[in-house]
Amino acid sequence: MRPKRRLGQNFLVGAGYPERIVAAVSPGADEPIIEIGPGEGALTALLLARGARVTAIEIDDHLIPGLHRLFGNNPRFALVNGDALDIDFCRIFPQEGKVRVVANLPYYISTPLLQRLIAHRHCISEMTLMLQREVVDRIIADPGGRDYGYLTVLVSFYCEASRLFDVPPGAFRPVPKVTSSVVRLRPLANPAVAVRDEDLFLSLTRTLFAQRRKTIHNNLRAGAAALGLGTTADLPAVLSSAGAGIDGHRRAETLSLRDLASLAEAIHQRGQTDE
């Protein structure tokens, strides 16, 4: 089957990397696994060989007959022809509690699909994901660098993340121009820092990273209404009351999770005062 460029398809074909990924997952016998984007079934076959129960989600109609032909007679295999961005992951194995997810994600949907998976974290215990290396660099970045941004904060707020290994272009068909990385995400029992309003925390983070070259003060001024600040005259007081005080001339990439939580709390308190 010819990969479709519009779907960002690069099929994992071998060189030992499918085995490394499945070894990293190490599924138990009869363990439920959700696989996103099975493609031609390289990971699917190995997961089933380990005894896992696999529900694969594939958007490409043209790949469905081949997957049915390969695995349709296996009672531990189920196939969903649909878009993972529309799937309620918690309804796939509703009786199992938390399940694990394995995926080879194309670049163009990596961020929205990560957001959707994190939104379903209450029924997912672990995600083993293959992404472009640049995306994984952003996920595991430390404050202060150019890779640190909204995606870093989102993932580290809700998950423990670790890079497992890189996968070279030659492991795919067609051969991409980029290197991939496999990352493991484990949702935390509670967010990494305590906040009273998670939606405000995430909205604040999006606002601060909306224009990376602008200062914290200028990004807050641009997003004041969306954050419920009402007037930009409140900004100096909000910044000074956040923890030990945050210099508005800094840029968002210098803020740690704790800094962001402190600033979100200051905005929350300002909103409570204004009511």
Measured CA to CA, the distance from residue 45 to residue 54 in angstroms comes to 10
50 pLDDT higher than 50: yes
- Quickly state the pLDDT bin for 2 (edges 50, 70, 90): very low
Helix (H) or strand (E) holding 34: strand 32-36
Structure tokens at 164: 């497992």
Rg of the chain (C-alpha set): 21
User: What local confidence, expressed as pLDDT, does residue 239 receive?
Assistant: 83
Domains, the chain, ranges and CATH? 5-187 (3.40.50.150), 198-274 (1.10.8)
> What's the pLDDT tens digit per position in 223-254?
888 888 766 667 777 888 766 578 889 999 99
Contact partners, residue 86, CB within 8 Å, separation at least 6: none
Q: What is the mean pLDDT of the chain?
A: 89
Are the C-beta atoms of residues 3 and 11 closer than 8 Å to each other? Answer: yes
Distance set, CA 67 to CA 10, 121, 186, 266 (Å): 16, 28, 29, 53
Structure tokens at 254: 């210098």
In sequence order, the β-bridge partners of residue 166 are: 181
Whether this prediction's pTM lies above 0.85 is answered by yes
Measured CA to CA, the distance from residue 78 to residue 135 in angstroms comes to 29
* CA distance between the termini of the chain: 60
Helix (H) or strand (E) holding 1: none
User: What local confidence, expressed as pLDDT, does residue 104 receive?
Assistant: 86
Measured CA to CA, the distance from residue 130 to residue 162 in angstroms comes to 12
User: What local confidence, expressed as pLDDT, does residue 205 receive?
Assistant: 96
25 pLDDT higher than 60: yes
- Quickly state the pLDDT bin for 154 (edges 50, 70, 90): very high
User: What local confidence, expressed as pLDDT, does residue 89 receive?
Assistant: 94
Distance set, CA 181 to CA 107, 157, 238 (Å): 12, 21, 40
Query: 249 burial class (0-12, 13-18, 19+ CB within 10 angstroms)?
Result: exposed
Phi, psi of 42 (to 5 degrees): -60, -45
What is the average pLDDT across 50-65?
94
